[in-house]
A and B are shown apart, each in its own frame.
Chain A
Amino acid sequence: GEDVEQSLFLSVREGDSSVINCTYTDSSSTYLYWYKQEPGAGLQLLTYIFSNMDMKQDQRLTVLLNKKDKHLSLRIADTQTGDSAIYFCAESKEDDDMRFGAGTRLTVKP
């Protein structure tokens, strides 16, 4: 089946930028998402991007999409301790299920 892959762990210092990377295999993916999961909670949508876009910025979050390489990244500027969580990349297309990566656990050290 189609896969979504992410590295499992990332550690940064407070105030630095974090970059979480994701690759996917389905070239017909229409929508790509970043979800955040805090301890003991469900997933919450952080941001999304349509496949015909290269970049989307939303306050401290920047999403970059390289459709040719099927690579998606999430950059968090000025990372804070409250950003510590698991971040899931996901993709979907019309009339199809959403597929999630395994999640990247971001640890922010003071």
Chain B
Amino acid sequence: DAGVTQSPTHLIKTRGQQVTLRCSPKSGHDTVSWYQQALGQGPQFIFQYYEEEERQRGNFPDRFSGHQFPNYSSELNVNALLLGDSALYLCASSWGQGVIQETQYFGPGTRLLVL
């Protein structure tokens, strides 16, 4: 049973470029949440996708967008990259149909460096 996977593991971009990060959820999960973790900080919620729609969004600008595919995998897109976007981007999957909060399982992350 594969856990949450993310690609690529590392990425280097320059300011102004665009980047796409990918996530495959744990088997049986239908919900994907994306988090940004700056160095030395806790993860910060970007947005969550369920049934191919953005269900909730954190305090991030519109430069951050996403998509969820019918197989529940997800992409995070960041446009017009800034130096401050350098961080570890974590994907977490869960089962979104329960009445109670379900555990979120994290992927290994994509480390993005913007130069």
Decide whether A and B are members of one complex: no
